[in-house]
Amino acid sequence: MSSESSRSRIPEAVLARAPKVLLHDHLDGGLRPATVAELAEQTGYEALPTADPVELGRWFRDAADSGSLVSYLETFAHTCGVMQTEEALVRVAAEAVEDLAADGVVYAEVRYAPELFVERGLSLDAVVEAIQAGFAEGERRVAAAGGRIRVGTLLCAMRQHARALEIAGLAVRYRDAGVVGFDIAGPEDGFPPTRNLDAFEFLRTNNAHFTIHAGEAFGLASIWEAIQHCGAERLGHGVRIVDDIKTDSDGTVHLGRLAAYVRDRRIPLEICPTSNVQTGAARSIGEHPIGLLARLRFRVTVNTDNRLMSGCSMTSEFAALSEAFGFGLADLEWFTINAMKSAFLDFDRRLDIINTVIKPGYAALR
Ligand SMILES: [Zn+2]
């Protein structure tokens, strides 16, 4: 892409220090394996495949590697299984902030579905309050150690349940307490986003932000519905937009009407490369559509999705992409600014992070 691009790898230490912005990261997909094991013991959760943290970490990655979104989602039974008490939620949220800061992330939007953490009687409000307390605690610990990170929350509704309007209400109710937006997650096939039109209309009339998981396991119809019927501001994944892009044998590229609309309107794509390979949405990192989408200047952002299941971080995603596509620091800065511009944070705060953290951070690396 840029003149700086070359196949030479950027040193890991430089990648680790580069400021990063993460818009698509699931709280229940990012636990430390040791924390899963300890919380299972503390909360009496007995269904873990092993109590050994190293084996457990490997088990999560292997199970997620199976190539199907359905079995990938099964791994969440265990993480959600140990996230059913306020103490557990505070701990998991605080550790997520510490881990992201250690990865060089300066702004993150971390998402979760509150309805998955009420099996032992917590109310939806108690779940949100515990996790906000955990994020605040994590931000405090990072600041005390001399770091800087800000975390916003996205509340997800699960596509296969029927609580989207209720969760949208929760997102609006807690928007002054750190919740910056809403999302729907879970199996795409058979659960089109238009099942939740009432929730999206409620959000729009309340001037609230939302993204929708679309175009991961399922194709263009899902993306089209998410944008044109539901009004999604961003696309969770959205990689199947490549199905609307044709490349001739001489290399000429043709965008269909939907792809052109997504690019013209600068609709952000929350792309999660390793996760897409695990679920079969892309064959390999090298064959991932992100190379083409970035070359065509779609509003591409790079994300982790589920750090535990994918065994990844923002640093490892940047490293893999840099190696596969020759992205240089200028390209990584472009992904990062794309993400910050697309965040659901107030405009003045987004601008402040771009100008006082991201741009000087990349300048210092050159
Ligand atoms: Zn996701």
The structure tokens listed for 124 are 């939806």
Tracing tokens 């997909």 back to the chain, one arrives at 29
The structure tokens listed for 347 are 């405009």
Q: How many domains does the chain have?
A: 1
Residue 5 maps to a domain:
no
Residue 115 maps to a domain:
yes
Q: How many residues does the chain have?
A: 366
Residue 157 maps to a domain:
yes
Residue 249 maps to a domain:
yes
- Give the CATH number of the domain where residue 347 resides: 3.20.20.140
Structural contact between residues 161 and 133, judged by C-beta atoms closer than 8 angstroms: no
Q: How far apart are CA 277 and CA 286, in angstroms?
A: 10
Q: Which of 216, 225, 233, 333 is catalytic?
A: 216
Residue ranges of the chain whose pLDDT lies below 70: 1-8, 67-71
pLDDT per position as a tens digit, 60-72: 999 888 766 666 7
Residue 2 maps to a domain:
no
Residue 125 maps to a domain:
yes
Residue 6 maps to a domain:
no
What is the model's pLDDT at position 13? 92
Cα 252 to ligand 1 centre (Å): 32
236 to 21, 32, 48, 97, 212: CA distances (angstroms): 15, 24, 29, 21, 5
Residue 305 maps to a domain:
yes
The structure tokens listed for 261 are 């609309």
Our measurement of the distance from residue 155's CA atom to the centroid of its chain's CA atoms, rounded to an integer in Å, reads 12
SS3 204: helix
Cα 111 to ligand 1 centre (Å): 8
Cα 264 to ligand 1 centre (Å): 24
Cα 18 to ligand 1 centre (Å): 23
Q: How far apart are CA 303 and CA 275, in angstroms?
A: 9
Write the DSSP string, 129-191. Answer: HHHHHHHHHHHHHHHHTT---EEEEEEEEETTSS-HHHHHHHHHHTGGGTEEEEEEES--TT-
Annotation: binding site:
24, 26, 28, 186, 213, 305
Cα 306 to ligand 1 centre (Å): 7
Quick one: how many helices (H) and strands (E) in the chain? 18, 10
Tracing tokens 């695990």 back to the chain, one arrives at 278
Q: Which domain holds residue 91?
A: 12-363
Cα 77 to ligand 1 centre (Å): 15
What is the model's pLDDT at position 6? 46
What is the model's pLDDT at position 78? 95
The distance between the two most distant Cα atoms of the chain, rounded to a whole number of Å, is 61
| pTM listed for this prediction | 0.96
191 to 67, 309, 326: CA distances (angstroms): 20, 23, 37
Cα 274 to ligand 1 centre (Å): 12
What is the model's pLDDT at position 166? 97
User: 234-237 and 211-214: which strand pairing?
Assistant: parallel
Annotation: binding site for substrate:
26, 28, 186
| 87 is an active site residue | no
What is the model's pLDDT at position 66? 74
Cα 6 to ligand 1 centre (Å): 30
The structure tokens listed for 85 are 């008490």
